[in-house]
Amino acid sequence: MRVRVLITPKEGLLDPEGRAVKEILEDNGYKVKSVRVGKVVELEVDDPSQVKEMVEKFLYNPLIEEYVIE
């Protein structure tokens, strides 16, 4: 089974990469309210019940990030 984990900075924390992307887009004439840059981790697993544990132990930093498992 293939699982996708979306990891993004927590709401309210600085996202310098997202800010830079937003500025580039606006400088080129695009209207953008906000940009959040994170990471996508795709896992191919036999037992999807272990994905949450893997993410929480190894893939994200709970102090500054949040995640969604798809």
pTM for the whole thing?
A: 0.84
CATH classification of the domain holding 7: 3.30.1280.10
* Token pair of 9 as six digits: 């900075």
| Residue reference for tokens 């993410």 | 55
Which range marks the domain in which residue 60 is found?
2-69
What is the reported pLDDT for 27? Answer: 98
Give how many domains the chain has, as a whole number: 1
| Cβ 8 vs Cβ 66: under 8 Å | yes
Q: Could you list the mean pLDDT of each consecutive 10-residue stretch along the chain, which spans 70 residues?
A: 96 93 98 96 96 97 96
What is the reported pLDDT for 17? Answer: 96
What is the reported pLDDT for 43? Answer: 97
